[in-house]
Structure 1
Amino acid sequence: MNYIALKMLMGDRGKYLGIVMGLTFASLIMTQQPAIFVGLMARSYSFITDLGLPDIWVMDRKVQFVDDIKPLQDTELYRVRGISGVEWAMPLYKGLIKARLSNGNFQTCNVIGLDDATLIGGPPEMLEGRLEDLRRSDGVIVDIDGAREKLAKPPATPGGQPVPLKVGDTLELNDRRAIVVGLAKVTRTFQSQPVVYTTYSRATTYAPRERKLLSFVLVKAKPGTDIPTLIQRIQDDTGLAAYSQEGFKKLTVDYFMQNTGIPINFGMSVALGFIVGAAIAGQTFYSFTLENLRQFGVLKAMGASNGTLLGMILLQAGLVGCTGYGLGVGLTSLFGWSMRNTILAFKFPWQLLVFSGVGVTLICVFAALISIRKVIKLEPATVFKG
């Protein structure tokens, strides 16, 4: 009976391909769009991920996400260092500063100021130069994507390719000279702005003059110290906010989820893909069933039970579902691979495979149910009338 079910399904190539294409489209939308959404959310806290050494981030209580800087007084650093359970606490500057390029244009950069002595908080991967080179006069390290794109020098010839920034080139940050001493690989930020690393003392000279310039205090707990307990102790003793790495990531993601239209926009795309896929697959599968009612009726007249016919329809729905799901996921993976070196955000965790699999399963169940109802109510005698 399974062989007969498959022969019936593939006998009409047009309808078979129509069902598969509908499910492929649904699977593609239900994996590609969430993958882009997850990639965007991951970029919103990419700076926290790249800076993986500290256990705790200390900041002003009004900070809502990682780029919402509320500067602290430098004396807060020493208050945090004096708390029991803190192995070390280091300052970190993070701010947006305009860089003047060689052609006179301006480009806003994320400038990161690291502790002068330890350079804790540096880029995760150096491509050229050394982190210690930041101690050289006016030294800065630029991320490779920014050096190739937004900070690149104008083409040497009209219509040519921009010339990437390289070690030894100079920039102007807030009318002060900066010499590129290294190139690093960092995760793109949410706004994909160039990232420039320098020392904390130099970053405060680049920044516009303010009374408070300390963005974050990075804290490492002593071995054996309970992180949640230390966080609560820092909050009680200083009156500042303190988060673990995961807690700070969650704070950032929650802000974007609650205060931007990104989740709604991507959610509507996924819902549209599900609805269109269900409509195409359901209508085509139902039409296929109607055209094969005579065959089902003959089988029923020959003694096939409703359970047997139900199994045949489920087998047909399962086959087209697996085929469409596999093609959709494959196309999504191919899309992500082709976009790996572009500015597009894309992240494909295994949970999305489960999500799209459940979605395709629901579509197949819907398509099967509307067909099963017709077959179950079929009277074998009607097949031989006329």
Structure 2
Amino acid sequence: MMWIAIRMLTGDRVKFIGLVFGVAFSTLLITQQLTIFVNLLLRGAAAVHEVSSVDIWVMDPAGRTTDVTLPMPSTDLQRVRGVPGVDWAVPMIRSGANVRTPEGALEPVTVVGLDDATLLGLPTAVMLGQRESLREPDAVFIDGVGARKLFGSDAAAMNVRLELNDQRAIIRGLVDAEPTFTSGVLLYTRYSNALNFVPGTRNRLSFVLVRAGDGEDVAVVARRIETETGLRARTSAQFAQDGIDYIIDNTGIPINFGITVALGVIVGIVIVGLTFSLFIRDNIKQFGALKAIGVTNATIRQMVVAQSALVALIGYGLGLILAITLIELGATYSDAFKGFYTPYQIPLIAAGTVVVMILITGFLALRQVLKTEPAEVFR
């Protein structure tokens, strides 16, 4: 009987394709939009994840994220170093600036000033140049996305002289940095150089990066820093979550993506529901004939379930393949999607949504079949 049910379903190719398209479209929309949404949120924590060897980020009490903070006096570095439980602490500047290229174009950039001695915070993947080249006078490293944005290719950015806030800067290397939410051009340089590159305000220290001593509880050390200095101290995990929460709380991204996903589910239910209803209506005589020869309602239910399962399996598979393919193509050929990937939870969510959608439409179609009387076939 299951074979008869499948033949009934595939016999009308137009309706069968319509059912598969409805499920595939919903799967594609849900998977793609959720993937973009999750990766955009993760970019809020990209700058924190870039410095994996740091336990605690210390900032002004008004600081929220790596891009939303208030500069501190340079003396705060020594104050943090004097807190019990701190193994070492280094400064970091993260500030906006304007750069003028040799062609005269003016572009906004983010200057990241790293500790002169350790260069802590420089991405480990140096694609062009040598890490030690950053110690040269006026040397800066640029991220790959920024290099392609300003100069068209990675190699074209090497050894280019820039005008950075009326100061000379020379690109001596290119790094593979994880894109941030703002996706701006990143210029890495030594802390002493960054003091000349960023606008000359009285306070320019953005963060103090802290490593807790061996055997110390990181959360306890962070609270100790806050108590003794009055500054805001967050563990790396907490500060990464702060960046994600800031995007959720201060942008319309969650609402917009939520609406898109909801529309995908609604459109899928409507398409599959209407097409399934038309399929049942066109085959009502066949179901009546089956009842007339003694097929029970339990068998009829199994037939409808088999039809629904086949549609769900094929539609879900096609939609998932298309969604992942589009994401992979975007990550390969566009810097806007650099680093995007599909977490395993998203296909599971899409699968659960498809199951619910098929259950709803299958239940409505099944009611129509069960109400059919065997005598219908003789009328």
- TM-score of the pair, normalised by structure 2: 0.96
Partner of 2:88: 88
Tell me the amino acid that sits aligned with residue 67 of structure 2: D
Please state if 1:105 is matched with 2:105.
Answer: yes
State the alpha-carbon separation in 2 of the partners of residues 7 and 163 from structure 1.
57
| Local SS of the residue matching 1:142 | strand
Alpha-carbon shift at residue 339 of structure 1 (Å): 0.8
Distance 2:131 2:153 in 1: 26
Residue type of the alignment partner of 1:311 = Q
Q: Residue 74 of structure 2 aligns with which residue?
A: 74
Aligned-pair Cα RMSD in Å = 1.4
Question: Which sections of structure 2, spanning at least 5 residues, go unmatched?
Answer: none
Whether contact under 8 Å (1:85, 1:230) holds in the other structure is: yes
Deviations 1:82-122 (A, max 9, x none): 11221111100001110011111211111100011111111
* Among candidates 371, 376, 379, match of residue 370 of structure 2: 376
Q: Distance in 1 between matches of 2:28 and 2:240?
A: 28
3-state DSSP of counterpart to 1:198: strand
Q: 1:363 aligns with which of 357, 362, 365?
A: 357
Q: Determine the C-alpha separation between the residues in 2 that align with 1:248 and 1:162.
A: 33
Q: Residue 162 and residue 143 in structure 1: after superposition, are their counterparts in 2 closer, same or farther (change >3 A)?
A: closer
Is 1:231 aligned with 2:225?
Answer: no
Partner of 2:335 in structure 1? 343
Check the 8 A contact 1:306/1:376 in 2, yes or no. yes
Q: Is the 8 A contact 1:88 1:219 kept in 2?
A: yes
- Residues 147, 153 of structure 2: 8 Å contact kept: no
| Residue aligning to 2:168 | 177
SS in 2 for 1:339: helix
SS at structure 1 position matched to 2:295: coil
SS at match of 1:267: helix
Q: Secondary structure at the match of 2:57?
A: strand
Aligned residue for 1:215? 206
Q: Distance in 1 between matches of 2:172 and 2:153?
A: 20
* Match runs of 1:121-136 below 5 Å: 121-136=121-136
For residues 107 and 187 of structure 2, what CA distance do their matches in structure 1 show? Answer: 12
SS in 1 for 2:188: strand
Name the SS of the counterpart of 1:83 in structure 2.
coil
Give the corresponding residue for 1:277: 268
Native 8 Å contact 1:149 1:164 kept in 2: no
Separation of aligned partners in 1, 2:182 and 2:284: 57
1:245 counterpart residue number: 236
Q: What does the per-residue CA deviation read over 1:15-51, in whole Å, with 9 as the maximum and x for residues that have no partner?
A: 0001001111110000011111112112222111212
Residue 343 (structure 1) shift: 2.8
Local SS of the residue matching 2:335: coil
> How many pairs align?
376
Displacement after TM superposition at 1:162 (Å):
7.5
* Whole-angstrom distance in 2 between the partners of 1:91 and 1:98: 22
- The answer on 1:28 being equivalent to 2:28 is yes
Runs in 1 of length 4+ with deviation above 4 angstroms? Answer: 161-164
Give aligned-pair identity as a percent: 41
Aligned-partner Cα distance in 1 for 2:89–2:350: 44
- Judging changes above 3 Å, is the alpha-carbon distance between structure 1 residues 130 and 163 closer, same or farther for their aligned structure 2 residues? closer
Mapped partners of 1:162, 1:53: distance in 2: 30
Preserved CA contact (<8 Å) 1:38 1:347? no
Question: Residue 154 of structure 2 contacts residue 174 of structure 2 at CA under 8 Å; is this kept in 1?
Answer: no
